Protein backbone atom coordinates (compact mmCIF):
# COMPACT_ATOMS: atom_id res chain seq x y z
CA UNK A 1 0.00 0.00 0.00
CA UNK A 2 1.27 3.43 -0.92
CA UNK A 3 1.54 5.51 2.22
CA UNK A 4 1.06 9.21 1.41
CA UNK A 5 2.93 11.67 3.56
CA UNK A 6 2.61 15.37 4.11
CA UNK A 7 5.74 17.45 3.74
CA UNK A 8 5.63 20.97 5.11
CA UNK A 9 8.48 23.20 4.04
CA UNK A 10 9.38 26.75 4.85
CA UNK A 11 10.77 28.93 2.05
CA UNK A 12 12.39 32.23 2.93
CA UNK A 13 13.96 35.04 0.99
CA UNK A 14 17.31 35.46 2.73
CA UNK A 15 19.75 38.31 2.39
CA UNK A 16 22.93 37.33 0.51
CA UNK A 17 25.68 36.04 2.73
CA UNK A 18 23.34 35.21 5.63
CA UNK A 19 23.23 31.52 6.49
CA UNK A 20 19.80 30.57 7.79
CA UNK A 21 19.17 27.12 9.24
CA UNK A 22 15.42 27.10 9.81
CA UNK A 23 13.66 24.55 11.97
CA UNK A 24 9.96 24.18 12.63
CA UNK A 25 9.58 23.95 16.39
CA UNK A 26 5.79 23.73 16.44
CA UNK A 27 2.71 23.50 14.23
CA UNK A 28 -0.67 24.07 15.87
CA UNK A 29 -4.34 24.75 15.23
CA UNK A 30 -4.62 28.52 14.79
CA UNK A 31 -7.61 28.76 17.14
CA UNK A 32 -6.97 26.22 19.91
CA UNK A 33 -3.14 25.96 19.76
CA UNK A 34 -3.55 22.17 19.81
CA UNK A 35 -0.48 20.50 18.32
CA UNK A 36 -0.77 19.11 14.81
CA UNK A 37 -1.45 20.18 11.25
CA UNK A 38 -5.18 20.78 10.61
CA UNK A 39 -6.98 19.43 7.57
CA UNK A 40 -6.75 21.19 4.23
CA UNK A 41 -8.68 24.45 4.19
CA UNK A 42 -8.31 25.08 7.92
CA UNK A 43 -5.98 27.58 9.58
CA UNK A 44 -2.66 26.73 11.22
CA UNK A 45 0.22 28.48 12.95
CA UNK A 46 3.86 27.48 12.58
CA UNK A 47 6.65 28.57 14.92
CA UNK A 48 10.04 28.58 13.26
CA UNK A 49 13.53 29.01 14.70
CA UNK A 50 16.73 29.94 12.91
CA UNK A 51 15.42 32.38 10.33
CA UNK A 52 17.80 35.27 9.84
CA UNK A 53 18.18 38.11 7.38
CA UNK A 54 14.49 39.01 7.58
CA UNK A 55 13.22 42.48 8.49
CA UNK A 56 11.53 42.42 11.92
CA UNK A 57 7.88 43.37 12.05
CA UNK A 58 4.33 42.09 11.88
CA UNK A 59 3.07 41.54 8.36
CA UNK A 60 -0.65 41.08 7.67
CA UNK A 61 -2.18 40.16 4.33
CA UNK A 62 -4.53 42.75 2.79
CA UNK A 63 -8.19 42.09 3.60
CA UNK A 64 -9.53 42.86 0.12
CA UNK A 65 -7.27 40.55 -1.91
CA UNK A 66 -6.49 36.88 -2.28
CA UNK A 67 -3.98 35.75 0.34
CA UNK A 68 -0.34 35.90 -0.82
CA UNK A 69 2.03 32.94 -0.83
CA UNK A 70 4.93 35.06 0.39
CA UNK A 71 4.63 37.59 3.20
CA UNK A 72 7.47 39.32 5.01
CA UNK A 73 9.89 37.17 3.03
CA UNK A 74 8.40 33.96 4.41
CA UNK A 75 6.39 31.27 2.64
CA UNK A 76 5.08 27.85 3.61
CA UNK A 77 4.89 24.72 1.46
CA UNK A 78 2.74 21.66 2.13
CA UNK A 79 3.43 18.67 -0.10
CA UNK A 80 5.21 21.00 -2.49
CA UNK A 81 2.29 23.40 -2.68
CA UNK A 82 2.52 26.96 -1.41
CA UNK A 83 0.12 27.76 1.41
CA UNK A 84 -1.73 31.09 1.53
CA UNK A 85 -0.27 33.21 4.34
CA UNK A 86 -2.44 35.40 6.57
CA UNK A 87 0.19 36.93 8.84
CA UNK A 88 3.87 36.71 9.79
CA UNK A 89 5.47 38.00 12.98
CA UNK A 90 9.25 38.39 12.81
CA UNK A 91 10.73 39.41 16.19
CA UNK A 92 13.67 41.76 16.49
CA UNK A 93 15.41 39.16 18.66
CA UNK A 94 17.05 36.82 16.17
CA UNK A 95 16.92 33.96 18.69
CA UNK A 96 13.12 34.18 19.03
CA UNK A 97 10.74 32.14 16.91
CA UNK A 98 9.06 33.51 13.82
CA UNK A 99 5.28 32.99 13.81
CA UNK A 100 3.50 32.22 10.54
CA UNK A 101 -0.29 32.02 10.29
CA UNK A 102 -1.42 30.22 7.13
CA UNK A 103 -4.25 28.32 5.50
CA UNK A 104 -3.48 24.65 5.00
CA UNK A 105 -3.72 23.82 1.27
CA UNK A 106 -5.78 20.89 0.03
CA UNK A 107 -2.59 18.93 -0.68
CA UNK A 108 -2.46 18.14 3.06
CA UNK A 109 -5.32 15.70 2.44
CA UNK A 110 -3.38 13.11 0.47
CA UNK A 111 -6.12 10.61 1.32
CA UNK A 112 -9.65 10.78 2.67
CA UNK A 113 -9.52 12.09 6.26
CA UNK A 114 -10.56 9.39 8.71
CA UNK A 115 -9.76 6.53 6.32
CA UNK A 116 -7.16 3.82 6.89
CA UNK A 117 -4.95 5.35 4.20
CA UNK A 118 -4.77 8.73 5.93
CA UNK A 119 -1.37 8.46 7.60
CA UNK A 120 1.06 10.55 9.60
CA UNK A 121 2.69 13.70 8.31
CA UNK A 122 6.41 14.23 7.70
CA UNK A 123 7.35 17.88 7.85
CA UNK A 124 10.55 19.47 6.58
CA UNK A 125 11.82 23.03 6.56
CA UNK A 126 13.90 24.62 3.83
CA UNK A 127 15.16 28.04 2.92
CA UNK A 128 16.75 29.14 -0.31
CA UNK A 129 20.18 27.99 0.88
CA UNK A 130 19.67 25.56 3.77
CA UNK A 131 17.39 22.87 5.13
CA UNK A 132 16.43 21.28 8.41
CA UNK A 133 15.56 17.77 9.56
CA UNK A 134 12.06 16.42 9.17
CA UNK A 135 9.64 16.25 12.08
CA UNK A 136 6.69 13.88 12.34
CA UNK A 137 3.06 14.70 13.10
CA UNK A 138 0.07 12.42 13.78
CA UNK A 139 -2.11 11.39 10.86
CA UNK A 140 -5.22 12.99 12.30
CA UNK A 141 -5.11 16.50 13.75
CA UNK A 142 -6.26 17.09 17.30
CA UNK A 143 -9.67 18.49 18.11
CA UNK A 144 -10.61 21.67 16.31
CA UNK A 145 -11.06 24.75 18.42
CA UNK A 146 -13.02 27.94 18.91
CA UNK A 147 -11.34 31.28 18.32
CA UNK A 148 -10.97 33.36 21.46
CA UNK A 149 -9.36 36.51 22.79
CA UNK A 150 -6.30 36.71 25.03
CA UNK A 151 -8.46 36.06 28.11
CA UNK A 152 -10.05 32.92 26.71
CA UNK A 153 -13.44 34.44 25.85
CA UNK A 154 -15.04 33.13 22.67
CA UNK A 155 -14.90 35.17 19.47
CA UNK A 156 -18.68 35.31 19.23
CA UNK A 157 -21.40 37.65 17.99
CA UNK A 158 -25.03 38.30 18.84
CA UNK A 159 -26.93 37.11 15.76
CA UNK A 160 -29.52 39.86 16.24
CA UNK A 161 -27.18 42.79 15.60
CA UNK A 162 -23.71 41.28 14.95
CA UNK A 163 -22.31 42.97 18.05
CA UNK A 164 -19.60 41.05 19.93
CA UNK A 165 -20.43 38.95 22.96
CA UNK A 166 -18.51 40.46 25.88
CA UNK A 167 -18.71 40.55 29.65
CA UNK A 168 -20.45 43.92 29.31
CA UNK A 169 -22.72 42.63 26.52
CA UNK A 170 -23.22 38.95 27.40
CA UNK A 171 -25.20 36.26 25.67
CA UNK A 172 -28.82 36.12 26.82
CA UNK A 173 -31.16 33.18 27.39
CA UNK A 174 -33.12 32.31 24.26
CA UNK A 175 -30.97 34.21 21.76
CA UNK A 176 -28.85 32.90 18.91
CA UNK A 177 -25.07 33.30 19.19
CA UNK A 178 -22.55 33.06 16.34
CA UNK A 179 -19.22 31.46 17.31
CA UNK A 180 -16.17 31.12 15.08
CA UNK A 181 -13.99 28.02 14.98
CA UNK A 182 -11.19 26.20 13.16
CA UNK A 183 -11.07 22.60 11.87
CA UNK A 184 -14.11 21.04 13.51
CA UNK A 185 -15.61 19.88 10.19
CA UNK A 186 -14.70 18.41 6.82
CA UNK A 187 -16.81 19.79 3.98
CA UNK A 188 -17.72 19.05 0.39
CA UNK A 189 -16.94 20.87 -1.75
CA UNK A 190 -13.62 21.54 -0.01
CA UNK A 191 -13.06 25.01 1.45
CA UNK A 192 -11.80 27.67 -0.98
CA UNK A 193 -8.04 28.14 -0.66
CA UNK A 194 -6.61 31.63 -0.36
CA UNK A 195 -9.90 33.45 -0.84
CA UNK A 196 -12.94 34.19 1.29
CA UNK A 197 -15.83 31.74 1.35
CA UNK A 198 -18.52 33.04 -1.03
CA UNK A 199 -22.02 33.59 0.26
CA UNK A 200 -24.87 31.45 -0.98
CA UNK A 201 -22.77 28.30 -1.57
CA UNK A 202 -23.82 25.11 0.23
CA UNK A 203 -20.94 23.20 1.84
CA UNK A 204 -21.97 19.76 3.07
CA UNK A 205 -20.36 18.53 6.28
CA UNK A 206 -18.85 15.04 5.83
CA UNK A 207 -17.82 12.25 8.21
CA UNK A 208 -19.25 13.81 11.34
CA UNK A 209 -19.37 11.58 14.43
CA UNK A 210 -21.85 11.95 17.29
CA UNK A 211 -20.84 15.38 18.51
CA UNK A 212 -22.78 17.80 20.69
CA UNK A 213 -22.24 21.35 21.86
CA UNK A 214 -22.44 22.24 25.56
CA UNK A 215 -22.41 25.24 27.86
CA UNK A 216 -21.09 24.09 31.22
CA UNK A 217 -20.60 25.89 34.51
CA UNK A 218 -17.09 27.30 34.80
CA UNK A 219 -15.11 26.50 36.75
CA UNK A 220 -16.72 23.33 38.07
CA UNK A 221 -14.05 21.07 39.59
CA UNK A 222 -15.38 17.54 40.01
CA UNK A 223 -14.05 14.00 40.00
CA UNK A 224 -15.08 13.84 36.34
CA UNK A 225 -12.55 16.47 35.29
CA UNK A 226 -13.24 19.49 33.13
CA UNK A 227 -14.82 19.62 30.67
CA UNK A 228 -16.74 16.65 32.04
CA UNK A 229 -16.82 13.55 29.84
CA UNK A 230 -20.25 11.89 29.73
CA UNK A 231 -18.73 8.52 28.80
CA UNK A 232 -16.48 8.27 31.84
CA UNK A 233 -18.85 9.99 34.26
CA UNK A 234 -22.31 8.94 33.18
CA UNK A 235 -24.28 11.44 35.23
CA UNK A 236 -21.92 14.35 34.67
CA UNK A 237 -23.96 16.51 32.30
CA UNK A 238 -27.45 15.05 32.53
CA UNK A 239 -28.61 18.40 33.87
CA UNK A 240 -26.84 20.20 31.01
CA UNK A 241 -28.56 19.26 27.74
CA UNK A 242 -26.77 19.75 24.45
CA UNK A 243 -27.30 23.11 22.78
CA UNK A 244 -29.55 23.58 19.79
CA UNK A 245 -27.37 24.31 16.73
CA UNK A 246 -29.11 26.27 13.98
CA UNK A 247 -26.14 26.39 11.57
CA UNK A 248 -22.67 24.89 11.28
CA UNK A 249 -20.35 25.21 8.34
CA UNK A 250 -17.95 27.60 6.66
CA UNK A 251 -18.22 31.29 7.53
CA UNK A 252 -19.13 33.36 4.48
CA UNK A 253 -16.74 36.22 3.77
CA UNK A 254 -13.87 34.71 5.77
CA UNK A 255 -10.87 32.57 4.87
CA UNK A 256 -10.65 29.13 6.47
CA UNK A 257 -13.01 29.97 9.34
CA UNK A 258 -15.97 27.87 10.49
CA UNK A 259 -19.20 29.29 11.89
CA UNK A 260 -21.40 27.65 14.52
CA UNK A 261 -24.74 29.28 15.36
CA UNK A 262 -26.40 28.03 18.54
CA UNK A 263 -29.29 28.99 20.81
CA UNK A 264 -28.66 29.79 24.47
CA UNK A 265 -31.19 27.75 26.50
CA UNK A 266 -34.16 29.77 27.74
CA UNK A 267 -33.48 28.60 31.30
CA UNK A 268 -29.71 29.18 31.15
CA UNK A 269 -28.36 30.55 34.43
CA UNK A 270 -26.22 33.67 34.34
CA UNK A 271 -22.46 33.48 34.73
CA UNK A 272 -19.32 32.55 32.85
CA UNK A 273 -19.80 29.31 30.95
CA UNK A 274 -17.45 26.94 29.16
CA UNK A 275 -18.37 26.34 25.52
CA UNK A 276 -17.12 23.08 24.02
CA UNK A 277 -17.95 20.14 21.78
CA UNK A 278 -18.23 16.66 23.25
CA UNK A 279 -17.95 13.62 21.03
CA UNK A 280 -19.52 10.25 21.78
CA UNK A 281 -22.33 11.46 24.03
CA UNK A 282 -26.10 11.49 23.60
CA UNK A 283 -27.97 14.76 23.10
CA UNK A 284 -29.31 14.55 26.65
CA UNK A 285 -25.79 14.19 28.04
CA UNK A 286 -26.16 10.59 29.19
CA UNK A 287 -23.53 9.26 26.80
CA UNK A 288 -23.56 5.64 27.99
CA UNK A 289 -21.19 3.38 26.02
CA UNK A 290 -22.99 1.62 23.20
CA UNK A 291 -25.94 4.00 23.13
CA UNK A 292 -26.80 6.79 20.69
CA UNK A 293 -23.97 5.62 18.46
CA UNK A 294 -21.45 6.79 21.07
CA UNK A 295 -17.90 6.67 19.70
CA UNK A 296 -14.53 8.35 20.15
CA UNK A 297 -15.57 10.06 23.37
CA UNK A 298 -13.75 13.23 24.28
CA UNK A 299 -14.07 16.98 24.55
CA UNK A 300 -12.67 19.84 22.53
CA UNK A 301 -10.73 22.65 24.21
CA UNK A 302 -13.21 25.03 25.79
CA UNK A 303 -13.61 28.78 25.50
CA UNK A 304 -15.51 31.06 27.85
CA UNK A 305 -18.89 32.60 27.13
CA UNK A 306 -20.42 35.23 29.45
CA UNK A 307 -24.17 34.71 29.90
CA UNK A 308 -26.54 37.32 31.31
CA UNK A 309 -29.70 36.61 33.20
CA UNK A 310 -32.27 38.58 31.23
CA UNK A 311 -33.48 38.90 27.63
CA UNK A 312 -31.38 40.70 25.04
CA UNK A 313 -30.90 44.42 25.58
CA UNK A 314 -28.74 47.00 23.87
CA UNK A 315 -25.19 46.68 25.07
CA UNK A 316 -21.69 47.83 24.49
CA UNK A 317 -20.61 47.36 20.88
CA UNK A 318 -16.90 46.83 20.37
CA UNK A 319 -14.95 46.45 17.16
CA UNK A 320 -14.46 42.86 16.09
CA UNK A 321 -12.58 41.56 13.09
CA UNK A 322 -11.75 37.98 12.24
CA UNK A 323 -10.42 36.70 9.00
pLDDT digits (tens, 9 = 90+) for 188-210: 898 999 999 998 888 988 866 66
Residues 262, 174 within the same domain: yes
Residue 233 has a pLDDT of 55
Please tell me the distance from the alpha carbon of residue 76 to that of residue 315, in angstroms, as a whole number.
Answer: 42
Same domain, 84 and 121: yes
If asked whether residues 205 and 160 sit together in one domain, one would say yes
Let me know if residue 1 belongs to a domain. no
Identify whether residues 253 and 114 lie together within a single domain: no
Query: Residue 141's pLDDT is what?
Result: 67
- Show which of 137, 171, 186 is a domain's final residue: 137
Residue 251 is part of a domain; what is its CATH number? Answer: 2.70.50
Q: Which of 137, 167, 190 is the last residue of a domain?
A: 137
Question: Do 188 and 282 reside in the same domain of the chain?
Answer: yes
Please indicate, yes or no, if residue 322 is contained in any of the structural domains. no
pTM: 0.81
Q: Is residue 13 part of a domain?
A: yes
Question: Is 320 a domain residue?
Answer: no
Q: Are residues 133 and 32 in the same domain?
A: yes
Residues 218 and 301: their CA atoms lie apart, in Å, by 13
* Res 320: pLDDT: 31
239 and 115, same structural domain?
A: no
Asked if residues 299 and 230 have their Cβ atoms less than 8 Å apart, the reply is no
323 located within any domain: no
Question: Quick check: is 319 in a domain?
Answer: no
Give me the pLDDT at residue 182, please: 96
Q: Is residue 31 part of a domain?
A: yes
Q: What is the pLDDT of residue 9?
A: 53
Number of domains in the chain: 2
Q: Are 167 and 18 found together in one domain?
A: no
Beta-carbon count within 10 A of 316 CB: 10
User: Which parts of the chain have pLDDT scores under 50?
Assistant: 1-7, 14-20, 112, 114-120, 124-135, 235-238, 284-296, 313-323
Does residue 282 share a domain with residue 230?
yes
Q: Indicate whether 104 and 164 sit together in one domain.
A: no
Look at residue 160 in the predicted model and tell me its pLDDT: 96
Q: Are residues 104 and 201 in the same domain?
A: no
Is residue 171 domain-shared with residue 295, that is, in the same domain? yes
The per-residue pLDDT for 206 is 81
Among the three residues 86, 116, 137, which one is the final residue of a domain in this structure?
137
Alpha-carbon span 167 to 154, nearest angstrom: 11
CA 182 to chain centre: 3
Alpha-carbon span 275 to 245, nearest angstrom: 13
pLDDT at 175: 97
Q: Which domain holds residue 159?
A: 143-313
Amino acid sequence: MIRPIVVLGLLTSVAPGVLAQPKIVGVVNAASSQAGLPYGGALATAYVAGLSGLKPGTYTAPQSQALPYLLGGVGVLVNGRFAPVLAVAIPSDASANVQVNFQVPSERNAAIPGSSTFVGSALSVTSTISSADMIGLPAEPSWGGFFSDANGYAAALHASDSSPVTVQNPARPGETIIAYADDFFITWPPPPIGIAVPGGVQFQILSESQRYLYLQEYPKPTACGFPENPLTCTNSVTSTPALQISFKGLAAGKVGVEEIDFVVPANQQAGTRALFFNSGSCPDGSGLPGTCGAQRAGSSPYVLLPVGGSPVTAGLVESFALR
